[in-house]
Structure 1
Amino acid sequence: MKNSVFPKPDSPWPKLRSYPLHLFLFLVTLFTTTWAGAEWAGKTMVITTGSELMLFLKAGLPYSLSLLGFLTVHEFGHFFTAMRHRLRATLPYYIPIPPFPNFLNIGTMGAVIRIKEPISSTRILFDTGSAGPLAGFTVALGLLVYGFLMLPPAPYITPVATLPSPHGTLVFGKNLLFVLLESFFSSKAVPPMTELYRYPFLFTGWLACFVTALNLLPVGQLDGGHVIYAMFGDAGHRKIANGFLIAIIILGLPSFAVELAGIFLPSLTLPIPESVLRHSWPGWIVWAFILKQFIGTRHPAVSVRQRLSMGRTIAGWLCIALFVLTFTPMPFDIL
């Protein structure tokens, strides 16, 4: 969510003239995510007839509809909460990404709504910030559970040719929720994380968890930042945000140092244990830079400071628990 200042209107609902743009972006994103889903399913974009195009797109629909379903529920969680508090807000802007060769393509950069006026109180801030992750997580959990339930029998889950890549084999990391569900469905044969993309509901459930965790990072004006600011105030938010920034730098530094050494000093072997590298992702250094330089770790003050109700406090701790469940220390790796 992004805030910008506009006079408060009599009706907070978006103007009808803006609807075509949002619909257009949704349809384009539906196409790009369907294309991405078909490629994850092993299809190639070599189309000579209309029937081949339909088969190609049909292969990608389970992925695209699942992922867009999650994004839509998440963003409309924010939107309808903003409407309830009579905040002027836009409908979701979906962000499509066309497929690029040799690129981790999921077909979209997500979706975002803009709240076009200052949020006046901590209760409203908390409600609008927490509504998206809480709503979206229900879809993420549903996708994972359904994905586990729909896994084929063990003889059909066998390692096959891995996703082609000139750089190696892509591996998806496990978050705590995935580990718990994997244990709960222990009677099922679970595919290796190198082949998660072959099971669109499990894959999109994993992606939905990853996006939920990114939104719940307790920094700046991210959803998690709104929740932490409303719960613990400016001083508490500042300490938690800075502490988290230090934590992900520590988490990413070992593998980042190895990557840099491999580029600039290929003959140098750093004495970092393999057990440490297995839990370190260099991307966290990039995220720390983005959070510090572009998103910002500080949260702007609200004009009315209110004590949160018991229900909101419980919901806040639930958001923190969801962050712990969905956070993946090492989301991606290349073998």
Structure 2
Amino acid sequence: MKQNYPLHLTLFFLTLLTTLWAGAFWGGHPVSFSSLPLFISSLGTGIPYSLSLLLFLTVHEFGHFFAAMRHRVQATLPYYIPMPPLPFLLSLGTMGAVIKVKERIPGTNSLFDIGIAGPIGGFAVSVGLLVYGFLHLPPADFIYSIHPEYLQSGGLEVAVPSGTLVLGKNLLWMGLEYLIAPKELPPMTEIYHYPFLFAGWLGSLVTALNLLPVGQLDGGHITYAMFGRRGHALAAKAFLLFIMLLGFPSFVELLLSWLMPEALALIPAVMLRWSWSGWILWSFILSRFIGLNHPPTVHDHSLSTGRVVYGWVAIAIFVITFTPVPFGVT
């Protein structure tokens, strides 16, 4: 099919620019506009983060694209989505990338292959980034070059202020952390200053979100191909209920903090520890915009044994990359 190469390239280079910008910010070197050389130099500090995140997105989306080509399904090249760093958002520099399938997918095999190719490739990149990041940590005092106020206030252990962003751990992170046992590993309040670890963490989070067995997400394609329309519908409703329950305690806490702060003590602390209010927003997006149902393929048929094995591998990847509380604050 005919591709809009100028548009794809423009979006890619804009996303390269915005991720360089975001990487410089997270690395403690905000972009300077005082002069062109200083602007270029400050952007350059964002290269590790930018290239790591773009590698993940590119491998994920081209996995889908090449699988579509293999099955002779018309699909666009990836549309990269740039996102300029904004002060009121978690500025990652991008909102991801997508391809668009231009025709109805002909059969269950092609649906499965197109759906699974992206998460498998992206997961491999995420693991590689995390392993590299764990094995190549800078010295422990690196964090004081970004936060000298920590050193002045008694060290990292006691100086992290209230309201600091905390990244959550998943089973993949905990497993690699245990196996590699990296020295000088910073706390989860500082991971976003370490570009390879941060990009790998983001990659695992995005992989899990894509593997949710809902609608036409990658996990929805895989679930539909493995378990059929009824199995997919059951899984979609079950996971929608699951993430709503996961987000409900912290959502109630958020409402009470505005309306009845004195009632906050009624919510058990253990419930809040394993809850993230963002899942309520995600449940709304999934149900209202993405949709729970999956359109049928032209021909539904049983998968081969090999594909079923890969399907269970994808489910295992979802389990170890899913983060119950991706973001929190101290």
**Match in the other structure for 2:156:** none
Deviation of 1:153 after TM superposition, in Å, equals 4.4
Selected match of 1:45 from 31, 43, 47: 31
Letter in structure 2 aligned against 1:28: L
SS of residue in 2 equivalent to 1:304: coil
In the alignment, is the contact (CA less than 8 A) between 2:134 and 2:182 conserved in 1?
A: no
Give matches, 1:215-254, under 5 Å: 215-254=210-249
Q: Deviations over 1:185-220 (max 9, x none)?
A: 225231100000111000000000011011101100
Deviation of 1:268 after TM superposition, in Å, equals 2.4
Selected match of 1:314 from 284, 301, 309: 309
**Match in the other structure for 1:26:** 12
**Match in the other structure for 1:89:** 75
Higher helix share: 2
In the alignment, is the contact (CA less than 8 A) between 1:33 and 1:108 conserved in 2?
A: yes
SS of residue in 1 equivalent to 2:97: strand
In the alignment, is the contact (CA less than 8 A) between 1:157 and 1:190 conserved in 2?
A: no
Q: Partners of 1:57 and 1:167 in 2: how far apart?
A: 29
In the alignment, is the contact (CA less than 8 A) between 2:247 and 2:276 conserved in 1?
A: yes
**Match in the other structure for 2:196:** 201
The yes-or-no answer on 1:169 pairing with 2:164 is yes
SS of residue in 2 equivalent to 1:194: coil
Q: Partners of 2:210 and 2:258 in 1: how far apart?
A: 32
**Match in the other structure for 1:136:** 122
In the alignment, is the contact (CA less than 8 A) between 1:153 and 1:188 conserved in 2?
A: no
The yes-or-no answer on 1:15 pairing with 2:2 is yes
In the alignment, is the contact (CA less than 8 A) between 1:97 and 1:107 conserved in 2?
A: yes
In the alignment, is the contact (CA less than 8 A) between 2:15 and 2:93 conserved in 1?
A: yes
In the alignment, is the contact (CA less than 8 A) between 1:175 and 1:327 conserved in 2?
A: yes
Q: Partners of 2:67 and 2:142 in 1: how far apart?
A: 44
Q: Partners of 1:237 and 1:189 in 2: how far apart?
A: 44
Letter in structure 2 aligned against 1:123: N
**Match in the other structure for 2:319:** 324
**Match in the other structure for 1:76:** 62
Q: Partners of 1:327 and 1:113 in 2: how far apart?
A: 23
SS of residue in 2 equivalent to 1:114: coil
Q: Partners of 2:205 and 2:30 in 1: how far apart?
A: 26
**Match in the other structure for 2:275:** 280
Deviation of 1:271 after TM superposition, in Å, equals 1.5
Q: Deviations over 1:267-311 (max 9, x none)?
A: 322522212211100000110111111111111112211111111
In the alignment, is the contact (CA less than 8 A) between 1:95 and 1:108 conserved in 2?
A: yes
Give TM-score, length-normalised by structure 2: 0.93
Q: Partners of 2:239 and 2:96 in 1: how far apart?
A: 23
SS of residue in 2 equivalent to 1:321: helix
In the alignment, is the contact (CA less than 8 A) between 1:157 and 1:189 conserved in 2?
A: no
Question: How many residues align structurally?
Answer: 320
Change in 2 beyond 3 A, CA 1:209/1:328 = same
Give TM-score, length-normalised by structure 1: 0.91
Name the % identity: 58
The yes-or-no answer on 1:263 pairing with 2:258 is yes
Q: Deviations over 1:148-206 (max 9, x none)?
A: 010134565679457xx998200000011000000012252311000001110000000
In the alignment, is the contact (CA less than 8 A) between 1:148 and 1:202 conserved in 2?
A: yes
Aligned-residue RMSD, C-alpha: 1.9
Gaps of 5+ in 1: 1-13
Gaps of 5+ in 2: 151-159
SS of residue in 1 equivalent to 2:46: helix
